[in-house]
């Protein structure tokens, strides 16, 4: 006997960027892949996680979330600088 499907909740606001999935989680399809951001019972936290990770996911990067109070490593800072530099060169805004 199949499991009964959960009744999806409506979006909390008209401009809410995420979609309710039948598994009880909020999701968004980015670059052809479905990403999950939180449970139905906490849409604010799901939206906040989406907003934190959106830019990295749209750029094809794996988002790295720092815990509160955690500081980025030297490697994190260097990689961030290199990514921005590559984007500037590709955009033609770098004078070199």
The whole-model pTM stands at 0.65
Residue 82 lies in a domain: yes
pLDDT tens, residue by residue, 36-73? 999 999 999 999 999 988 998 898 888 877 666 677 78
Q: Is the pLDDT of residue 95 over 70?
A: no
Q: Are strands 25-30 and 19-20 parallel, antiparallel or unpaired?
A: antiparallel
Q: Domain of residue 86: give its range.
A: 19-91
pLDDT at res. 61: 82
The answer to whether position 54 is within a domain reads yes
The token duo for 23 is 């598994």
Number of domains in the chain: 1
**Dihedral in degrees, nearest 10, Cα atoms 59, 61, 67, 71:** -90
pLDDT digits (tens, 9 = 90+) for 11-28: 999 999 999 998 899 999
Confidence of residue 3 (pLDDT cuts 50, 70, 90): low
């Amino acid at each position: 006997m199949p499991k009964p499907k959960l009744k999806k909740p409506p979006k909390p606001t008209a401009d809410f960027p995420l979609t309710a999935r039948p598994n009880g989680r909020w999701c968004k399809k980015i670059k052809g892949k479905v990403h999950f951001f939180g449970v139905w019972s906490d849409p604010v936290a799901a939206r906040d996680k989406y907003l934190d990770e959106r830019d990295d996911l749209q750029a094809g990067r794996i988002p790295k979330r720092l815990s509160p109070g955690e500081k980025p490593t030297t490697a994190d800072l260097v990689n961030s600088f290199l990514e921005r530099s590559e984007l500037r060169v590709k955009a033609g805004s770098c004078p070199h």
